[in-house]
Amino acid sequence: MLIRHKPEIRSSEITPEHNYLNRRGFISSAALAGTSLLFATSCSGADNKNSAPTGNHTNLDVNSLEDITRYNNFYEFGLNKEDPEKFSGAFNASPWSVTIDGEAEITGTFNFEDIIGPHSIEERIYRLRCVEAWSMVVPWNGIPLGKLLQRFKPTSKAKFVSFETVYRPEEMPGQRAKVLDFPYREGLTIDEAMHPLTLLATGLYGADLPNQNGAPLRLIVPWKYGFKGIKSIVRISFTETRPYTTWSDAIPTEYGFYANVNPAVDHPRWSQARERRIGSGLFAEKQPTLMFNGYADEVASLYAGLDLTRYF
């Protein structure tokens, strides 16, 4: 399935929220079993058995399109949450290409349609949680990252997967500020990247990704904090050693490589034990943060034997 990608998303092209929610009946009925895969997770799940979500993944209301597109961390467009929506209009997400390199049998630079084309687009609801103790629930469209990576036949030396954001300071004013070591880079272990919950998102609310949300291609790892959700990806590399990652290498005492949601490990400047939903109001009561963002049953085995207070 090929998807058109444009520099901006127009409101006329987005399914109205109430129609979208009614059409999909999000998380409300077991009749969803065997159709779309629906999940819930953290800011950049259920299992992958074509069944309705269970336990902590149910009864989550989806945030409005306004919440999702106007409250973002995307330092390439500015430091404030509203800056990406304000300053990303000049960013051009089409045409687009992605370079695949490193420890794999098939490497090269591929256009967007070649990357996405062979895959069917899945719909997943993810509860995105950021380290600043806020969260939102987003209906993403995308493809399982593992299915895409398998096409390039990673070798036995591929222990990690790294990702890189496009570098265009002329279109991304935040990159000119040198707040971070741009281009932004992130990484996962190969097992994390291949996990069926890990999503390469191409859209939200049934339309293409807006610029401020990482057009045209971004990473979603539901059990991790939002800074792992690298946006506007132009390079995916298979590596034998742990790759450089922007936040965990810039401030390792605050942002670990693994970045798993763990309420028992506080950020040095604030507690991560509780969170507040965006859209619930400034004075809304915070909710307890769940281990692995509520996906412990699905992903805890990835970290067997690791001290998660040290490897955070």
- What is the number of domains present in the chain? 1
Nearest to 293 by CA among 278, 309, 272: 272
Distance (Å, whole) CA 4 – CA 17? 21
Structural domain boundaries enclosing 125 = 11-303
Residue 51: what pLDDT?
31
CATH, residue 46? 3.90.420.10
List strand residue ranges (DSSP E) for the chain, in order. Answer: 97-102, 108-111, 122-130, 134-144, 160-165, 185-189, 199-204, 207-208, 218-220, 233-239, 274-277, 287-288
The answer to whether position 3 is within a domain reads no
Q: Phi then psi for 99, rounded to 5 degrees?
A: -90, 130
Residue 35: what pLDDT?
28
Nearest to 232 by CA among 102, 67, 88: 88
Residues 6+ apart with CB under 8 A from 2: 113, 116, 117
The answer to whether position 163 is within a domain reads yes
The answer to whether position 2 is within a domain reads no
Collapsing DSSP states into helix, strand and coil, what is residue 231?
A: coil
Distance (Å, whole) CA 297 – CA 219? 21
With beta carbons less than 8 A apart as the criterion, state whether 45 and 293 touch.
no
The answer to whether position 17 is within a domain reads yes
The answer to whether position 270 is within a domain reads yes
The answer to whether position 308 is within a domain reads no
Q: What is the CA radius of gyration of the chain?
A: 18
Distance (Å, whole) CA 290 – CA 175? 34
Residue 61: what pLDDT?
87
The answer to whether position 184 is within a domain reads yes
Nearest to 171 by CA among 94, 243, 114, 282: 94
Q: What is the residue-level pLDDT of the chain in tens, covering all 312 positions?
A: 333 333 344 444 455 666 656 555 443 332 222 223 334 333 433 333 333 343 344 457 899 999 999 999 999 999 999 999 999 999 999 999 999 999 999 999 999 999 998 888 999 999 889 988 889 999 999 999 999 999 999 999 999 999 999 999 999 999 999 899 999 999 999 999 999 999 999 999 999 999 999 999 999 999 999 999 999 999 999 999 999 999 999 999 999 999 999 999 999 999 999 999 998 887 888 999 999 999 999 999 999 999 999 999
Alpha-carbon dihedral 7, 197, 33, 210, rounded to 10 degrees: -10
Residues 6+ apart with CB under 8 A from 192: 198, 221, 302
User: Which residue(s) pair with 138 in the sheet?
Assistant: 126
